[in-house]
Amino acid sequence: MSDQVWALFTAFSTVSLFAIGGASALIPEFHRQIVENYHLMDDKGFAHSVVLSQLAPGPNMLIVSFIGWQAGGLAGLLVSTFAIVVPPSMLAFTVGRLMEGRKEALWVRAVKTSLAPIVVGLTLASGTVTARAADHDFVAFALTAGSAAFMIAFRRNPLWVIAAGASVGVVAYHMGIMPIA
């Protein structure tokens, strides 16, 4: 197994065991492992992988497959997908079997209740890490801030934000304000 593929396996199999909140909540740790620790991608490539995985239909875990493909080709895609799916599936199955019959225990309810704010915080951190990786000029920063403000203020379908961002990007490109990445 190549060094890149082994690094992908190591990064994703260890991170997968702490996947509280799903892939979106793990983006900061994915960034730390893939960009900072193993240097398999740069910020720009990482940001593009996040964007593509969010736009593609299917589960958010597609980000792992995109990163694996970009860093290690087909072998990287397969190993990354295996590493992010199999360990937590085995853990969830085992814990589920052990928890059967303990659903109403006070400590179980307390753990479930405390996980919601943790997931929200991790998701917020994911947005921050992705914005730092993607926002390298004023237009990109303004699009990020405007998108967040729109979603918070109006609570509309995110497709409106995507369409508006694409339109602003096309106009900014034609005006020479924003280069195409």
**For the segment 19-78, what is each residue's pLDDT rounded down to a tens digit?**
766 777 788 888 999 999 999 999 888 888 888 887 777 777 888 998 999 889 999 999
Q: Pick the residue with more confidence: 155 or 51?
A: 155
Is 78 within a domain?
A: yes
Distances (CA, A) of 116 to 20, 110, 119: 9, 11, 5
Inter-residue contact 33 to 40 (CB < 8 Å): no
Q: 147-156, long-range: CB within 8 Å, 24+ apart, which pairs?
A: none
Is 123 within a domain?
A: no
- Whole-number pLDDT of residue 95: 84
State which residues form the domain around 87.
Answer: 3-101
Please give the DSSP secondary-structure letter assigned to residue 103.
T
Indicate the average pLDDT of the chain: 85
Can you tell me the mean pLDDT for 4-29? Answer: 83
Distances (CA, A) of 128 to 109, 145, 150: 30, 11, 16
- Whole-number pLDDT of residue 169: 79
177, pLDDT greater than 90: no
| 31: nearest Cα among 10, 50, 7, 52 | 50
d(CA 171, CA 112): 46
Please give the DSSP secondary-structure letter assigned to residue 135.
-
Inter-residue contact 147 to 167 (CB < 8 Å): no
Is 108 within a domain?
A: no
Encode pLDDT of 110-122 as tens digits.
888 888 888 888 8
Is 82 within a domain?
A: yes
Inter-residue contact 29 to 15 (CB < 8 Å): yes
Per the structure, how many domains does the chain have?
Answer: 1
- Is the overall model pTM greater than 0.75, yes or no? no
- Whole-number pLDDT of residue 178: 66
- Whole-number pLDDT of residue 21: 65
- Whole-number pLDDT of residue 1: 66
